[in-house]
Structures are given as structure tokens and as C-alpha cells.
Amino acid sequence: MYDEIMNKKKLLIFFPNKKVSGEYIEMFPFEMLKKEFDFFGINNREHNTFLKEIPLKLSLLTKKSHALLHQAEMLRRRNASVYYMARIRGEFPSRFDSQHIKIPFHEFKKATFFKRVQVKFFSTIFGVLILKKIVIILFKLENFFSPKLLKEVNCIVLPYTGGISVEWDFLVWLAEKYKITTIAIQENWDNLTSKQFLFMKPKIFATWSQQSSSHLRSIQNFRGAIYEVGCFRIQGFYSSRELLCSESPKSRLHLEPIEKSILVIGLGDELEDFKLLRVMSDLMSYSQNLSHTNLQVIYRVHPHIVESPSRKNNLKLIESLPKIKIYNPGLYETNSERIEQVNSAEIVVSIFSTMVLESAIVNKTCVIPVFNFVTADYNPSHLIDDLNHFSGMSMLTKVKIATTSEEFIDILLGAEGDLSNKINDPIVLNWFCKNTDTQLEIASLIRQYATNNV
């Protein structure tokens, strides 16, 4: 027993935020690996899974230089995807912008004048190269003051959300210096096409699917080993799908909605959500079709928006709408609770969120209403094909775009009822997120590469 404890390898997991930490505590294969590894965390929620938390604090100069590098690279490569262009158009607007594709439902805050000048100055290939050199020098200085940070670590797991994280890049750089295996795990559907460009590249990247692997190669210029392992969160939806498609009536019973409900996924802009919910409230309150007046609308508030007075006021407006029930998931919602909420809905209404994919997996009718966002020179209904990570969703039978309020109401009232017995194509779904045992795949990767450094 003593030898087993002494021979355990050291697995370090860096969490970009507490939300991801909570998800890993719920779904990461700790049980499969606990006989072989001791677990250490950076920025994790307190939990008895971790032997201890390793502190990592980098200087303000390093953080600011690193952020400037990512912003300059994004401006330089803004044409790599529709979402990159949308982000740059909002944060660093230019009168020379000629891209006609717009994402009207997502606004990005305009950077300050000084920030715009600074980023534009470095947004050339030479400017980016200079910033990369500066950041590497700063990383070397950081390592000089904390030389034992990765002492005896065998493998580093890096959940990748796409957000700018100087700690993430520093750990990848440091691990390469000490020949420690790094395994990045894709966390979000769009984070390889919309958030930032990879600066320091890990040895191994675990993606959701063929689609994400293609984005990693073509947009992120990644040349390391790629493994398609699915997604911890979404695998729960695939498990529900298997029950749904089972021939056993008992297996299907708990997936059938107890009462008809429409789940509306919050956009993050409560004022825009209010416009849509008002249409639905009027429909539920005044419809002449009595069989549908008992439909319940559940508005799922976006959980990751900073509280503000305007947000509170907009939520009060939504609360005043008849037939609308508000559900606020908070930051501590479990994946099981999310799955249960989707399973209990008959229709899911969302504006291009990941929950469209999750709901499509369990064969819910998914409606994407864009009638509030139509502009003069671009119809946002095309975004189901033009957004890089959404491209192909239009092939799914039960995913519908509503371009007018009348079309939206028709779908809600059952004009598309002939879809009820159809299922979404599993081949298409696998293109977006592979249906596999994600826990087992990740555990196998860690065992393989923590033993044999690449």
C-alpha cells in the first residue's frame, strides 16, 4: 500500500474559473484515475478530490502585455471567422469595414481610444512578433521567481474556454520548458472560432468532434496531436437520447414532458429577451386555441452576466409578463439539472446558443427566432450556416429558423406537428459533438501521456 501511494503520479488541473471547476468536480473521471494519480488544482473550488491547491499569481505587467498580444493578433486575423470579425467590429470599429455579415444580437463594448490606438499599432505581423518576444521574456522572469511551481508534476490538464488567460499560456510555456505533457480540453462549442487565437500550444488537444478538430487545424494552426473525445456536459444529453430512442415505453416515460412547456434560453440581453417574451406572453394569454393556453413558458436567465441596475429593471419587466415563469440557474447549477430542464420541455427557443445543439440531441423542436434582428443588408437567419460552429445545423430536421413573428407563432402552436415522430440525424450530431464515453476517453489520454511524455 505504501509503495502504491509513493508511486502515484501528480496530475495538475488548471481551472480558468470556478464554473469550470464545479463542472469538473461533477463530471471529470477522478474515480477512474484516483489509484494512479494525486490531484492538484489551480483556481479550483475547495473539494476533497484535490490534495492541495497550488497558488499561481502573475504580475500586472505580464497580464497586460499578454492581453495586448491576444487583442493585436485578433485584429490582425479578424477575417478568420464571422465571430472574430463581429468582435473586432464592436471593440475596434473601422470605417473601412466592408463585411456585410452581422451578428445583431451580440454587442461588443467599444474599447477606449487609447486601447484602440495601442492595439492597432501592434496589429501587424511584426508588431505581434515583438509582443510575443516581450511576453516570453516576462514568462522567464515569472519562472525565475517561482522555479518550483511544477515540481514533480507528470501531466497538466488545461480546460480551454477560449477566454484570455495569461496563466493558461504561462503553464503551457512552463510545461514545455520542463518537458511535462499538457492536455487541453475543449470546453465550449464556439471557443475555437470566436474567442482568441492560441498563443502557446499544448502537446495534446482533446476536442468535441471532427468539426472542432477542423477549426483547431484551420483557424488555430494547431499541429499537435488531436483526439476527438466528445464533451462531459453533452454526453449526458446523448445518454438521454439513447433512452428516448429506446423501444421500451418505461425507458421513455421520464423523458416525456409532464405538462407542455416552452423553454426560452436567455440571450444575455434582457431587453431583447423581453421583446420576444412579450410576443409569447400575448400568444399564451389571448390565443383562441384553448388547447394551447395552458402552455407554460419558462425563461432561463443567462447565468453569466454581470448584475447591473438596468439588468434588474429589465428582469422586473419580464416578471410582469403573464404566463412567463423565470428560472435563474445561478453559477452552481449542475449538469444533471440542465439536462432535466431540457428534457421536461416540449420546445426550446434560443438564439444560436449551445443549448440548441443539446436540445437537438434529445430531439426537441428547437426554434431560433430572428425576426427582431433583421437588418437592411443581411438577414440573420443565414447565421445558422454562416457562423462557423453552427454551420450544418440547418440539416437537422427539428431545428427551425423563425424569420417572422407569424412563423414563430405557427411553430409554437403546432404547425410543424408532423416533426414530432422524427429524430435528428445522429451522423450530423456526431459532426458537432461525438457520442462517446468522454470520461473514459479523457482517462485513457491522461494514462497514456502522463506515462509516455511526447
- Predicted local confidence at residue 122, as pLDDT: 94
pLDDT value at 250 more than 50: no
Closest CA relative to residue 136, chosen from 173, 162, 163: 173
Taking the C-alpha atoms of residue 351 and residue 393, their distance in angstroms, rounded to an integer, is: 13
Contact 84, 71 (CB under 8 A): no
- The CATH architecture one would assign to domain 250-426 is 3-Layer(aba) Sandwich (3.40)
Mean pLDDT of 225-245: 91
3-state secondary structure of 296: strand
Contact 89, 75 (CB under 8 A): no
3-state secondary structure of 325: strand
Taking the C-alpha atoms of residue 453 and residue 318, their distance in angstroms, rounded to an integer, is: 54
pLDDT value at 222 more than 60: yes
For the record, the C-alpha cell of 148 comes out as: 518550483
- Predicted local confidence at residue 261, as pLDDT: 83
pLDDT value at 1 more than 80: no
For the record, the C-alpha cell of 314 comes out as: 429589465
Contact 37, 9 (CB under 8 A): yes
pLDDT tens-digit readout, 105-130: 778 889 899 999 999 999 999 999 99
Taking the C-alpha atoms of residue 163 and residue 43, their distance in angstroms, rounded to an integer, is: 15
Taking the C-alpha atoms of residue 345 and residue 298, their distance in angstroms, rounded to an integer, is: 9
Domain spanning 2-56+146-231+436-451, CATH class = alpha beta
Residues 6+ apart with CB under 8 A from 181: 154, 155, 156, 175, 203, 204, 449, 450, 453, 454
Query: In 324-408, which ranges are E strands?
Result: 324-327, 347-349, 365-369, 399-402
Residues of the chain with CATH 3.40.50.2000: 2-56+146-231+436-451, 250-426
Percentage of residues of the chain with pLDDT beyond 90 = 52
Contact 102, 82 (CB under 8 A): no
More confident residue, 417 or 253: 417
Angle between the N-to-C axes of helices 232-244 and 354-361, in degrees from 0 to 180, rounded to the nearest 10: 30
Closest CA relative to residue 152, chosen from 9, 4, 36: 9
Contact 297, 261 (CB under 8 A): yes
- Which one-letter amino acid corresponds to residue 310? S
Taking the C-alpha atoms of residue 22 and residue 159, their distance in angstroms, rounded to an integer, is: 12
Mean pLDDT of 258-265: 78
Pairing of strands 296-300, 52-53: unpaired
45 DSSP 8-state letter: P
pLDDT value at 94 more than 90: no
Mean pLDDT of 354-362: 94
Chain centroid to Cα 242, Å, comes to 23
pLDDT tens-digit readout, 140-181: 999 887 767 787 789 999 999 988 899 999 999 999 999 999
Q: How many residues does the chain have?
A: 454
Closest CA relative to residue 18, chosen from 155, 159, 195: 159
pLDDT value at 319 more than 80: yes
For the record, the C-alpha cell of 214 comes out as: 477542423
Residues 6+ apart with CB under 8 A from 21: 15, 41, 43, 44, 45
- Predicted local confidence at residue 287, as pLDDT: 57
Query: In 161-305, which ranges are E strands?
Result: 181-186, 204-207, 225-228, 261-265, 296-300
**Residue 11: its H or E element:** strand 9-14
More confident residue, 319 or 443: 443
In our burial notation (b when 16+ CB lie closer than 10 A, e otherwise), range 70-99 reads bbbbbbbbbebbbbbbbbbbebbeeeeeee
Q: Given its phi and psi angles, is residue 426 left (phi above 0), alpha (psi -120 to 50 degrees) or beta?
A: alpha
pLDDT value at 388 more than 70: yes
